[in-house]
Structure 1
Amino acid sequence: MAEASRLRRYEQVAERLAEAMAAGTLRPGDRLPSVRQLSLRERVSISTVLQAYLHLESLGLVETRPQSGHYVRRRERPRPEEPRVSRPTSTATPPGISALVARVYRAASDERIVQLGAAVPAPELLPGPRLHRDMVMLSRQRPDAIGYDMPPGCLELRRQVARRALEWGCSLSADDFITTCGATEAVYLSLAAVARSGDTVVIESPAYYGTLQAMESLGLRALELPSHPRHGLELDALEAVLDKRRVAAVLVVPSFSNPLGACMPEENRARLVAMLARREVPLIEDDIYGDLHHGLERPRTCKSFDRAGLVLLCGSVSKTLAPGFRVGWVAPGRFQERMELLKFAHTTATPTLPQLAVARFLASGGYDKHLRTLRRRLASQVERMTEAICEHFPEGTRVSRPSGGSLLWVELPPKVNTLVLHARALEAGISIAPGPIFSAQARYTNCIRLNCGQVWSPRLEAAMATLGSLARALA
């Protein structure tokens, strides 16, 4: 018990310093208080301060200079340029990427391969032991958990998600949610609810390949629109399309999009919702990365501006708590009844025990503490990966600057064919996600997406050096 108490204390000290760095109060190169000074200021032991500094050093936020003290870590190299704004053609295209995606994901379960392709957080970053204990306890307390949990799904979970929705800017009740098998099913069912085979759905470009696969299986056509690497979907381009042609829906990832990491400004979100409401066009909002902001505040959801019930808000805990639990949800607005029927026809029910475990974790109050640590570690890993790209990748490489999430979009020199790079990287024991799987038009042949959700280690550092060497050879 005493050991757990000390652990909590040094994490609290480290967290306050990390928040000061994120806010700019402590800047790169600034000297931190001496161990004795911080011990007196925080009213903790010297060993607790030393633990806090070691923790921050392991996250890449602090560096120790012999006989000088502790300093906020400097960025060794200037940031590379950001990727260019995408300029896809204005043709609605049936996606056909599943075969290529299968090739990428065959490597995802191979422990011998450094996993930079799949957007999955490392188990070390997640509260696995706590969730497993809760599952065991609940399996004893709730013998009914082996039964079907019919739509709309676990009431305990829906209540907890509705509470969290207040932080998203939404006033929603438990009855406004349907639980799903992850955000993937939530998005799939949303598409099925608002579109029919042959319809056109507007998406960002580049777009998450899981979305493209869902559209492919439903027989939908993807209309890719330009996206800014910081601000997301270009709304002027969308308005021009809406004035000329019928679209069944618009699907966006406004908060830290996959793969760009773009975060749509709040005023753009309000404009987007109003623009679609005037035309009675549904908006499917994938908010799976919303809780992973690197700054001080969570972005408001587009759903928070919805007054017509046209926004279908999708989310899950796959990027924050437990990917394998497959626990997600959707708040489908006016499409609630149809969505419940589709959910029953598609998977009948979401597994009960994982829903109860997630609900218990959310109710305990531990989720926010876990998120603070997770966000800090992901931000640090994004920074370290960016530095490795600067050091090892060919001249002219461009890298995204996400303000949340765990993904980097890397635009390599035009001569680099990333399908070839993907094959050579796999031979070297490294998995990456090549650009063409993020476009129905198989664009972005010189781009890759890298996952920063793996804990930084000498093995990962060596993999980035190898990947850079392979890219330089192709360039």
Structure 2
Amino acid sequence: MRNRDRPSKRYETLADEIEASIRAGTLRAGDRLPSVRQAAASRGVHASTVFQAYYRLEARGLIRARPRSGYYVAAVPPPPLEHASAPLGESIAVDVGERVFAILEATMRRDVVPLGSAFPAPSLFPLARLAKTMASTVQRLDPRANVDHLLLGNAALRRQIALRYLVDGLAIDADELVVTNGAMEALHLGLAAVTRPGDAVVVESPTFYASLQALEQRGLRAIEVATHPREGIDLGALAEVLERRRPAACWLMTSFQNPLGSLMPEAKKRELVELLARHDTPLIEDDVYGELYFGARRPPPAKAYDRAGLVLHCSSFSKCLAPGYRIGWIAPGRHLRTVARLKLSTTLTASTPAEATLAAYLEHGGYDRHLRKLRQALAGQRDAMLAAVATHFPAATRATRPDGGYFLWLELPPGADAMDVHRRALAQSISVAPGPIFSSRAQFERCLRLNYGHPHDGRVDAALAVLGRLARPA
């Protein structure tokens, strides 16, 4: 066992030493690192140890590989945010609607730099091709389609969604899916299926403000549970809450959580589902960013480990293909009939033309090519924003470095006030999402969520420079 541990310690030590040299300025942006062979010889280690150290540094955004040239120091990102949140773990009535609405309403102006937006740039999506597909699809629509697809949604679209899951190793039958008006309706339907007014629901800390709005709307209470910015919700803290508070459900983002960008490791997702199954507690899984991964493959959702039908898995095409088309879906497991009845008694169906258009687009291919380009663009924009934050913000600023999605979470130095930054930035036509809107208790007073889903042009960089000045404590 000791011999097996030693290589891991060596590459971690080497990576940490190089990182210290980069952050101290001994190694600067653009400097070339020793070749793997040189570093192995000088350190007296195997080449694989150096490779592992370089891969680790690359994952941290500190170095970049150049084809046939070697590894070079990248622009130094801000220090990572490594500590989990520390909520009380108590049930609380939710009253965030007015605060969230006031902030979001103020950021909807077209003249603002949309760093506080919840949406990526429209230019990243194949909207022209989708429009052509819709024009040709609508001409062929059967007038009876509304009735045919009344209960679960367009059969061809559900088949395409099921096929995508199957390619990723997740067997969900097309008849186990309900097409919805975007992911928000899917999430609301899931919540309605498993809760009653007065129930408590577990959410992450911080959590997406829309989940708090949904709880408030249904008269539910929130239990915020400690969440790590890299690996998601703390399962130990969750286990304690499940035992002590007996919540009716959990609403979690297990992949690229909004606002943190955290990605729960696969083993932890499995443990999460097993923990909830022991308590017979449903999980409403919000997976709208699952396709926006920067690694080699899509992270499996928690739904992949569900054997009891307790995971109500929700997603949509809004964040990865067709913003504005409002097409989402839910795989509600054992709650399928309840969700289908709720859908039938509220909005009946999603948009028939939009459903048929997306089904035709997926059938004719091109979606994966689009996703590759989208992921590449978002990863580059993430790195550019991190570099700008390192350049313009106070040195004590901490930031996440997500492996997918399009949000950064910043923790500003002591003395900073995120709400004050929001107000002063908006006066200069820059929007940000201040930390307090991501908490039922208005916590995270020093935190900001920034959207890197827009091309990093001069306008964005100038806005980040302004924000950096505003973030400096008085």
Task: Note whether the superposition's TM-score is higher than 0.5.
Answer: yes
1:150-189 aligned at under 5 Å gives the runs: 150-189=150-189
Specify the alignment match of 1:417 in structure 2. Answer: 417
SS at match of 2:410: strand
Does the aligned pair in 1 maintain the 2:92–2:223 contact within 8 Å?
yes
Partner Cα separation in structure 2 for residue 145 and residue 411 of structure 1: 54
Distance 1:63 1:246, change over 3 A: closer
| Aligned counterparts of 2:357 and 2:64: Cα–Cα separation in 1 | 35
1:83/1:410 contact within 8 Å kept: no
Partner of 1:372: 372
Higher deviation after alignment, 185-194 or 238-247: 238-247
What is the deviation of 1:108? 4.4
The one-letter amino acid of 1:94's match is A
TM-score by length of 2: 0.84
Q: Give deviations 1:34-74, integer Å, cap 9, x for gaps.
A: xxxxxxxxxxxxxxxxxxxxxxxxxxx9999xxxx999874
Report which stretch shifted further, 113-122 or 343-352: 343-352
Q: How many Å separate the matches in 2 of 1:306 and 1:90?
A: 25
Matches for 1:130-279 after TM superposition, within 5 Å: 130-144=129-143, 147=146, 149-279=149-279
Provide closer, same or farther for how the CA distance between residues 95 and 244 of structure 1 changes in structure 2, counting only shifts above 3 A: same
The answer to whether the Cα contact below 8 Å between 2:80 and 2:401 also exists between their aligned partners in 1 is no
- 1:81: how far off? 2.8
CA pair 160-29 structure 1, distance change in 2 beyond 3 A: farther
Give 1:245 deviation, angstroms: 2.5
Aligned to 2:442: 442
* Identical columns (%): 44
What does the per-residue CA deviation read over 1:235-288, in whole Å, with 9 as the maximum and x for residues that have no partner? 011111122221101111000000000000111111111111122111111111
From the superposition, tell whether residues 438 and 180 of structure 1 become closer, same or farther in structure 2 (CA, over 3 Å).
Answer: same
Q: How far apart, in 1, do the equivalents of 2:387 and 2:462 lie?
A: 13
State how far apart, in whole Å, the 2-side matches of 1:281 and 1:310 are: 7
- Name the structure 2 match of 1:57: none
Report the equivalent of 2:340: 340
Deviations 1:151-184 (A, max 9, x none): 2111111010000112443211110000011111
TM-score normalized with structure 1 length: 0.83
Q: 4+ residue stretches of structure 1 with deviation over 6 A? A: 27-31, 61-64, 69-73
Alignment partner of 1:324: what SS? Answer: coil
The alpha carbon displacement at 1:107 in A equals 3.9
The equivalent residue for 1:305 is 305
Distance 1:406 1:200 in 2: 30
Contact 1:146-1:353 at 8 Å conserved across structures: no
Q: Secondary structure at the match of 1:348?
A: coil
Structure 1 Cα separation of the partners of residues 118 and 163 of structure 2: 27
Structure 1 range deviating more: 346-355 or 307-316: 346-355
Aligned mates of 2:272, 2:128 — CA distance in 1: 41
Q: Is the 1:107–1:113 contact (alpha carbons within 8 Å) kept by the matching residues of 2?
A: no
Unaligned segments of structure 2, at least 5 residues? 1-28, 34-62
| TM-aligned CA distance change 1:228 to 1:125, over 3 Å | same
Counterpart of 2:405 in 1: which secondary structure? coil
Which range moves more in the overlay, 343-352 or 327-336? 343-352
SS of aligned partner of 2:117: coil
Task: Answer yes or no: is the 8 Å Cα contact 1:104–1:431 preserved in 2.
Answer: no
Task: State the partner residue of 2:81.
Answer: 82
| Amino acid in the other structure paired with 2:270 | A
Matches within 5 A, 1:13-52: none
RMSD: 2.2
Shift of the 422–146 alpha-carbon distance from structure 1 to 2, 3 Å rule, reads farther
Contact 1:104 1:432 in 2 (8 A): no
Once the two structures are overlaid, the 10-residue window that deviates more, 350-359 or 76-85, is 76-85
1:432-471 superposed matches below 5 A: 432-471=432-471
Residue identity matched to 2:74 = R
Change (3 A) 1:310 1:269: same
SS at match of 2:324: helix
- Contact kept? 2:78, 2:397, Cα under 8 Å: no
User: 1:361: which partner in 2?
Assistant: 361
SS of the equivalent of 2:374 reads: helix
Contact kept? 1:186, 1:330, Cα under 8 Å: yes
Q: Deviations over 1:65-86 (max 9, x none)?
A: xxxx999874222541315310
Render the CA deviation track for 1:329-353: whole Å, top value 9, x for unaligned: 0000010111011112222211111
- The 1:247/1:465 distance shift into structure 2, 3 A limit, reads same
Q: Within the alignment, does 1:94 sit opposite 2:93 as a pair?
A: yes
SS in 1 for 2:387: helix
